[in-house]
Structure 1
Amino acid sequence: MRRTDSASARPGEVEVAASVVVPTRGRPQLLNRCLASLVLQRFDPARFEIIVVDDGPDDDTREVVAGWAAHTAGQGPRITYIPSMGPHGPAAARNHGWRAARGGIIAFTDDDTIARADWLKNGLRAFEGSVDAVSGRIVMPLSHTPTDYELDAKQLETAEFVTANCFCRRQVLDDLGGFDERFRFAWREDSDLQFRLLEYQASIVYEPKAVMMHPIRPAGWGVSLQQVKKVQFDALLYKKHPALYRRKIRSKPRWDFYITVAALFACVITAAAGATAPALVAGLLWLGMTGRFCMQRLKRTSKAPGHVAEMVVTSALIPPLAVFWRMVGAIRFRAGLL
């Protein structure tokens, strides 16, 4: 039987209904914008608090939080700064935050989001009856034809459950043990929590009126190559929840990447051995698979010359990098083929 949430208010204090947890690391300007939107929530400021967990403490971040805490003292929500001597990753930072929280409901977001003024009110309103967790709506505005990076990031809008905008009863987090801190990057830790909530038979509802704006941050040339490293944590998610991973994340392994890399290796090896015909066949297969991948990425994205050049180069590099990091994850977490 589940235990009920216990009140944390002392005599004479107003009970805190919710605690907003914001992990951050080295982005004081974005955090400042996020906190500005949180302190302006149309919700009784005495009934919610904001907890900022700094995963790799620095003076600029500490000063931003201190400035807002001083600004809201006595007239706004209580704001707490927690240094986490990391970096340990956002999963560990969120655990630090909710475990220090006073609210019975924990609201999670990121430091690069902007909450609409009624975000918290609408998110909390969705907790009726036996609801255990709420997933809010993410909006990532774009006014132009996106780049591949922007289109990929915009998929967050259709994700079922993301830590940039979700709410969970503290008691449920306590029962589950919070986030799995082995997810060291901002990748798949939210899916892991969602899958564990489903296995816990938690009631999860979607509340479209709890809106969080999530502007897409500018990114440099070749950003996709930096992000490939994250796929190693797919192995951990797959090991923990193989059926849910296949149903909700990826229905089958990335055979296209494996074929592309196998063709590349075959071309190099046969060419080195002087087998011209097999090398030519393997090379054409690699070229065809790489071209197919590149065209898929360009289908709905910008055709600017610089972006096209980026897609050509990175489409050749991503498959071998992705296979490498998938193998790293499979070995590290002793998981099956991804």
Structure 2
Amino acid sequence: GFDERFRRAFREDADLALRLDAAGWRIAEGERQTVHPVRAADRWVSVRAQRGNADDVLMNRLHGPGWWRRAGAERGRLPRHLAVTAAACAALGGLATGRPRAAALLGGLWLLGTGEFFYARLSPGPRTRDESLTMALSSLLIPPLATFHWTRARLQAPPARWYDGTGVWP
């Protein structure tokens, strides 16, 4: 029942749940225990995971803008990533057009947003030197990559058509 347009293990379950709900099925909480061992991950796993932002675009296309609430999904940091990336781009634009004050202000906003993201990710620990370096490097890369994948999906996606309750899926 999973929609094969979801190429990663991300959002395919929320899509299925929303389709079941829209078809009149009831999803009940049960008692089941699953052991899912955590795979070994390299330093860049969270950077690669930003491809999942494209799946959020597909969810919007399929289920409408309110799908987050209906699926009980967290909104995530995409709005902040978009703002941080916009500040960085605008700061570079200010430098390129000879507006150093604007560039400094916008660069400060980029630095503040990036610093907040880094702190939020590092706070839980373990705060080793290697973990701190990983968090610093990936915190610089994640906002623009999340923005890139989201924007690319928005530009490539067909016009918004979500489920209308007729039994026919777009």
TM-score bucket of the superposed structures, by smaller chain:
0.7 to 0.9
Distance in 1 (alpha carbons) for counterparts of 2:88 and 2:7: 31
Q: Counterpart amino acid of 1:227?
A: A
Instruction: Tell me, yes or no, if structure 1 residue 278 matches structure 2 residue 102.
Output: yes
Distance in 1 (alpha carbons) for counterparts of 2:78 and 2:12: 21
How many residues matched? 158
Q: 1:335 to 1:281 in 2, by over 3 A?
A: farther
Unaligned 5+ runs, structure 2: 161-170
Q: Counterpart amino acid of 2:120?
A: Q
Q: What residue in structure 2 maps to residue 326 of structure 1?
A: 150
Q: What residue in structure 1 maps to residue 129 of structure 2?
A: 305
Compute the TM-score of the two structures, normalised by the length of structure 2.
0.85
Instruction: Tell me, yes or no, if structure 1 residue 240 matches structure 2 residue 62.
Output: yes
Q: CA deviation at 1:275?
A: 1.6
Q: CA deviation at 1:246?
A: 3.9
Q: Counterpart amino acid of 1:200?
A: A
Compute the TM-score of the two structures, normalised by the length of structure 1.
0.44
Distance in 2 (alpha carbons) for counterparts of 1:305 and 1:191: 37
Q: CA deviation at 1:220?
A: 0.6
Residue pair 1:185, 1:230 contacting (<8 A) in 2 also: yes
Instruction: Tell me, yes or no, if structure 1 residue 256 matches structure 2 residue 111.
Output: no
Q: Which has the higher strand share?
A: 1
Q: What residue in structure 2 maps to residue 195 of structure 1?
A: 18
Distance in 2 (alpha carbons) for counterparts of 1:180 and 1:255: 26
Residue pair 2:78, 2:146 contacting (<8 A) in 1 also: no
Who wins on radius of gyration, i.e. which is larger?
A: 1
Q: Deviations over 1:241-293 (max 9, x none)?
A: 12222442245883211210111011111112222111111111100000001
Q: What residue in structure 1 maps to residue 36 of structure 2?
A: 214
Q: 1:205 to 1:232 in 2, by over 3 A?
A: same
Distance in 2 (alpha carbons) for counterparts of 1:252 and 1:227: 13
Q: What residue in structure 2 maps to residue 294 of structure 1?
A: 118
Q: What residue in structure 2 maps to residue 230 of structure 1?
A: 52
Unaligned 5+ runs, structure 1: 1-177
Residue pair 1:260, 1:286 contacting (<8 A) in 2 also: yes
Pick 1 or 2: higher relative contact order, CA cutoff 8 A, min separation 6. Answer: 2
Q: Counterpart amino acid of 2:113?
A: M
Q: Counterpart amino acid of 2:86?
A: A
Q: Counterpart amino acid of 1:259?
A: A
CA RMSD of aligned residues (A): 1.9
Matches within 5 A, 1:17-32: none
Instruction: Tell me, yes or no, if structure 1 residue 183 matches structure 2 residue 3.
Output: no
Distance in 2 (alpha carbons) for counterparts of 1:315 and 1:253: 12
Residue pair 1:246, 1:252 contacting (<8 A) in 2 also: no
Q: Which has the higher helix share?
A: 2
Residue pair 2:47, 2:138 contacting (<8 A) in 1 also: yes
Q: What residue in structure 1 maps to residue 164 of structure 2?
A: none
